[in-house]
Homo-oligomer: A and B are copies of this chain.
Amino acid sequence: MIQRPRGTRDFGPEEMEVRRFFEGMMRQEAVLHGFREISTPIFEHTELFTLKSGPGVIEEIYSFKDKGDREICLRPELTASVIRFFVNDLTTLPRPLKMFYFGQCFRYERPQAGRYREFFQFGAEIIGSPTPETDAEAIGLAAAILERTGLKDYRIRIGHIGILRELLAKAGVPGDNALPILQKLDKKSYPEAEELMAQAGMGVIDIAKIIETTKITGPVSVLDSYDGQARDYIRQVCDVLVAMGFSNISVDLGVVRGLAYYTGMVFEVDAPKLGAEKQICGGGSYSLSELFGGEKVFSTGFAIGFDRTLLALQTEGVEFPQPKLTAYVVPVGDTAREKAFQIASELRRAGISADVDIMRRNIGKNLKSADSAKARYALIIGDKELENCSVTLRDLSSGEQQSIAFADLVQKLKD
């Protein structure tokens, strides 16, 4: 037997029904919010991701040379691809651009619960608008999607790297010098962050204040003891979200994203029931287009981990409407066979789902198949029915049978 590659999955019919249902729900919600879908290739030039995340990213991705000796890789995420597409082809579209995507991403890492080598992300980006409402509109889409799925237990935590950056600047560590420190804080590596801050000449009190700040979490009022632009900005973002009816948001200054291109608001969503791999969504505002040769443009976006969100929904036992087969057509004997296919085709053309025996089985086995396909009705056609131009319609839950003329079938099953 040939196995599927490690860390990848096959999805059978039951799983795909769940997945397509929630994928469709996310897509629909994005469209309701005025976002439009785009799509980019599964593989990209590796440079796209080393420019964005540094050469270290190569360790974590599927990178290889193609037959033309070009360095390409399976995309580990989609934001870089979206911005590449924007820089190359979409700069003349009216702004703001509100775009979303859904697709596979790939990471070469040890597979474990909730972490796969091939995984699925739903994400959105707003390009070209630098206001707090823009950030709220992005967080609001993520929140509306999670609300629509029916997920109950999740927390939206909003931070702003500007607050730490302002404090670090005041303490004598401005601009790019702060980046290595932010990267340690992002990983909650406090001793190493403290060491870097001490090396940068910061005093013990300032260092303690920074560490303490990253632990601040709660309602917007926890920001009262800070001042500055970043605090005012995050307050406005939260006010808009409250106006939009999202109450399960909190401020968490421990949300730090230690990459140079994040510019301000950052947010994460956790589903606590998932344990160690509980983050189901993350995002923030960033400036990436200039790295790819474009003009500098303010952007905000997020990605939802589709697989983890489904896991969280399963943990909560969320139900979804399963598609049902309406009719299972059963020819009895050879003479009825062509008529059975004619009827199945007529139903299908009328938008009524219909299966039909293709294995020439006896009526007992066919009724069992109709049952296991969870069909609503079996339509039995034998010599007697052919003579009467009718089928025997059997309701598979009640067992009741009635005779229905061929001509009335579509109308009857449409109800």
A residues sitting closer than 8 Å to B (CB atoms) are 1-6, 8-13, 16-17, 19-20, 27, 29, 31-34, 36-45, 47-48, 51, 62, 64-68, 70, 72, 74, 81, 84-85, 87-90, 94-96, 98-99, 104, 106, 108, 118, 126, 128-129, 131, 133-134, 136-137, 140, 144, 239-240, 243-245, 292-294, 323, 325, 328, 337-339, 341-342, 344-346, 348-349, 351-360, 369, 372-373
A89 close to B10 (CB less than 8 A): yes
In whole Å, how far is A16's beta carbon from the nearest beta carbon of chain B?
4
B354 close to A34 (CB less than 8 A): yes
B338 close to A1 (CB less than 8 A): no
Q: Which residues of chain B are near A240, meaning CB under 8 Å?
A: 337-338, 341
A184 to B64, CA, bound (A): 35
Given contacts A2-B45, A6-B68, A12-B85, 14 further A-B contacts (CB under 8 A): A4-B84, A4-B85, A9-B41, A11-B39, A13-B37, A13-B99, A17-B37, A34-B355, A41-B118, A129-B358, A129-B359, A140-B341, A243-B345, A245-B345
A344 to B88, CA, bound (A): 32
B11 close to A348 (CB less than 8 A): no
B62 close to A66 (CB less than 8 A): yes
A95 close to B359 (CB less than 8 A): yes
A353 close to B31 (CB less than 8 A): yes
A104 close to B42 (CB less than 8 A): yes
Q: Which residues of chain B are near A39, meaning CB under 8 Å?
A: 10-11, 16, 19
A292 close to B2 (CB less than 8 A): yes
Contacts A36-B16, A131-B358; A5 near B41 (Cβ below 8 A): yes
Q: Which residues of chain B are near A373, meaning CB under 8 Å?
A: 34
